[in-house]
C-alpha cells in the first residue's frame, strides 16, 4: 500500500506589492530582487486576513470535492504555522469549524519554523498507515514578516497549502526513508513579544546549506535513493534563488554532474509560483510542489521528486516521493493561476498601511472593515476573541 498526497491546493492574500516599487525605497536596483533573490512580487495580507483565513481558503476546494463520507473520514487536522494567533488554542480549530468538518476529529497545531509542515505530513502518513480508511488534512499557513526597511523585507509573503493525506494517493506517494538534521542555531526566530522575525541573514543561508548537507548525508546513510535516481528537486524557498543555491550545493556534495542546463531543469518549474508570492514559511516548499506539478510540460508520472524542508533554528529533512499515474487529472492549476492573476496590486504607501497586523490588546470591540475578496475573513476582534466569517466568495467557490 502506498501513502501520500491525494489532493493539494494553495491560497494566498488577494493583494500584492510589485518589488519594482520596493527597490527604489531601499535604494537598490530592482535586479537585486528579481535576479539576486529571484523574487518579482510579494503577497500582502489585508487587515481582515490571517493564518486562519488563508488556511481555510486553501482547504475549501479539497473539502468541497468530498462527499459526506469523505468529509467524515477526515479524523485529523494538522495545522503547521509559525504565525500563530494564540498561545493555547490551535488555529486549526477555527479552520475545522469554517470548513464544516465532523466533530469526530482531532485538531492540533505544530511549530518548528518553516519545517513544521513536513513534520505534519510525516505524522499524517503514520496515522494513515495505522488506519488506511482515514484521511488526514494537513494545512501549512503563514504570514512572513520582517521589519520595514530591513534586508528581509523583500522576501516577505504569505500563503497556505492544504494537502489531503491518504492511502493510494492520486498525486504523490511519499517514500518511507528520510534524512534528518537538527542543530541549535540562532539564524532566524521570533520572540513572543515581536510581530516580525529577528534574522541573521548570512548565518541563515549557511545554516540552511549545513542542514541540507546533514539531511542528505543521513538520507544516504539510511539507504535512500542516489542523486541520479531523483528527477526533480523541491526545496524550501525563502526566496527562489535560495533553491537554486541549495541545488548547486547538493550537486557538489553529492558528487553529481554539474551541467548548468540539467541543474536548472531539475528545479525551474518549482520556482514559478513562489516568485510571485514570496516566502510563505511552512507552505513554501509545498507551493513549490504545486508549481512543479502544475507547470511541467512532460508527464511526470513515475518521476521521483526529492524534497528538502528547512526550518530555521534549525531542523532539516530530505525525503522523496513518486508522482502517480493519472495525477494530471487531479491538479488545480487553472484555479491556482486565477488566484495569482486576480490579485490586486497595492502601491508602496498602501502596503505600508496594511502590512502591520490588526492586534488590539485592550479586549474591547474592534470591528474590521471588509477588504479581502477571499472566501474567509476576520470580521472583528472582540473581548479578546477573533471572529471569522465566510464571505460571498466562499459560496461562489462552491457554486
- Is 236 considered catalytic here? yes
The answer to the question of residue 82 lying near ligand HMG (CB under 6 A) is yes
Burial 225-235 (b: 16+ CB within 10 A, else e): eebeebbbbbb
Cα Rg of the chain (Å, integer): 20
Stretch that binds ligand HMG, among 53-61, 175-183, 234-242, 350-358 (CB under 6 A): 234-242
- Judged by CB under 6 A, the number of residues near ligand HMG is 28
Of residues 99-128, which lie at the interface with ligand HMG (CB under 6 A)? 113-114
Distances (CA, A) of 226 to 316, 389, 398: 18, 48, 44
**Measured between alpha carbons, how far is 257 from 243 in angstroms, rounded to an integer?**
18
Q: Which of 38, 238, 306, 375 binds ligand HMG (CB under 6 A)?
A: 238
The answer to the question of residue 32 lying near ligand HMG (CB under 6 A) is yes
Which CB sits closer to ligand HMG, 27 or 349?
Answer: 27
3-class secondary structure, 340: helix
- Residue for grid cell 542523486: 227
Q: Which of 83, 122, 155, 374 binds ligand HMG (CB under 6 A)?
A: 155
Smallest distance, Å, CB 314 to ligand HMG? 8
Of residues 241-300, which lie at the interface with ligand HMG (CB under 6 A)? 242, 279, 281
- Residue for grid cell 482531532: 106
The answer to the question of residue 199 lying near ligand HMG (CB under 6 A) is yes
- In DSSP terms, which residues pair with 76 in a beta bridge? 106, 136
Smallest distance, Å, CB 188 to ligand HMG? 5
3-class secondary structure, 11: strand
- Is 140 considered catalytic here? no
- Catalytic residue (one of 49, 96, 109, 114): 114
Smallest distance, Å, CB 212 to ligand HMG? 11
- Is 114 considered catalytic here? yes
Q: Which residue's Cβ has the minimum distance to ligand HMG?
A: 36
3-class secondary structure, 25: helix
- Catalytic residue (one of 96, 140, 181, 236): 236
**Contact call for residues 390 and 63 (beta carbons, < 8 A):** no
3-class secondary structure, 305: strand
**Contact call for residues 306 and 323 (beta carbons, < 8 A):** no
Which CB sits closer to ligand HMG, 312 or 324?
Answer: 312
The answer to the question of residue 36 lying near ligand HMG (CB under 6 A) is yes
Give the CA count within 13 Å in the CB-facing half-sphere of 363.
0
**Contact call for residues 49 and 372 (beta carbons, < 8 A):** yes
Q: Which residues are catalytic?
A: 82, 114, 236
Binding site for ligand HMG (CB under 6 A): 29, 31-32, 35-37, 82, 113-114, 151-152, 155, 187-188, 199, 201, 204-205, 208, 236, 238-239, 242, 279, 281, 310-312
Amino acid at each position: 500500500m502506498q501513502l501520500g498526497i491525494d489532493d493539494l491546493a494553495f491560497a494566498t492574500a488577494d493583494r500584492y506589492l510589485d518589488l519594482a516599487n520596493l527597490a527604489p525605497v531601499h535604494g537598490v536596483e530592482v535586479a537585486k530582487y528579481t535576479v539576486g533573490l529571484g523574487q518579482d512580487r510579494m503577497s500582502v495580507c489585508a487587515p481582515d486576513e490571517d493564518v486562519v483565513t488563508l488556511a481555510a481558503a486553501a482547504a475549501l476546494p479539497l473539502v468541497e470535492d468530498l462527499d459526506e463520507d469523505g468529509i467524515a473520514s477526515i479524523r485529523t487536522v494538522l495545522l503547521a504555522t509559525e504565525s500563530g494567533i494564540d498561545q493555547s488554542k490551535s488555529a486549526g480549530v477555527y479552520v475545522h469549524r469554517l470548513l464544516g468538518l465532523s466533530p469526530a476529529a482531532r485538531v492540533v497545531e505544530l511549530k518548528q519554523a518553516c519545517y513544521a509542515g513536513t513534520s505534519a505530513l510525516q505524522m499524517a502518513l503514520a496515522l494513515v498507515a495505522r488506519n488506511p480508511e482515514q484521511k488526514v488534512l494537513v494545512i501549512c499557513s503563514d504570514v512572513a514578516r520582517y521589519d520595514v526597511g530591513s534586508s528581509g523585507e523583500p522576501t516577505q509573503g504569505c500563503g497556505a497549502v492544504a494537502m489531503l493525506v491518504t492511502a493510494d494517493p492520486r498525486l504523490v506517494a511519499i517514500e518511507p526513508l528520510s534524512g534528518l538534521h537538527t542543530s541549535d542555531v540562532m539564524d532566524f526566530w521570533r520572540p513572543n513579544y515581536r510581530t516580525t522575525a529577528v534574522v541573521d541573514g548570512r548565518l541563515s543561508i549557511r545554516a540552511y546549506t549545513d542542514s541540507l548537507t546533514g539531511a542528505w548525508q543521513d538520507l544516504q546513510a539510511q539507504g535512500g535513493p542516489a542523486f541520479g535516481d531523483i528527477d526533480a528537486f523541491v526545496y524550501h524557498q525563502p526566496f527562489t534563488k535560495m533553491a537554486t543555491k541549495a541545488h548547486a550545493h547538493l550537486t557538489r556534495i553529492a558528487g553529481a554532474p554539474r551541467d548548468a542546463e540539467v541543474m536548472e531543469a531539475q528545479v525551474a518549474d518549482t520556482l514559478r509560483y513562489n516568485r510571485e508570492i514570496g516566502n510563505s514559511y511552512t507552505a513554501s516548499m509545498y507551493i513549490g510542489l504545486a508549481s512543479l506539478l502544475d507547470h511541467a510540460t512532460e508527464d511526470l508520472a513515475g518521476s521521483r521528486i526529492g524534497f528538502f524542508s528547512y526550518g530555521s533554528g534549525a531542523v532539516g529533512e530530505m525525503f522523496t516521493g513518486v508522482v502517480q499515474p493519472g495525477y494530471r487529472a487531479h491538479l488545480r492549476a487553472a484555479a491556482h493561476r486565477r488566484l495569482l492573476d486576480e490579485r490586486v496590486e497595492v502601491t508602496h504607501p498602501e502596503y505600508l498601511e496594511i502590512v502591520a497586523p490588526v492586534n488590539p490588546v485592550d479586549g474591547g470591540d474592534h470591528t474590521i472593515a471588509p477588504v479581502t475578496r477571499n472566501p474567509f475573513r476576520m470580521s472583528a476582534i472582540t473581548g479578546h476573541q477573533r471572529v471569522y466569517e465566510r464571505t460571498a466568495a466562499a459560496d461562489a467557490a462552491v457554486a
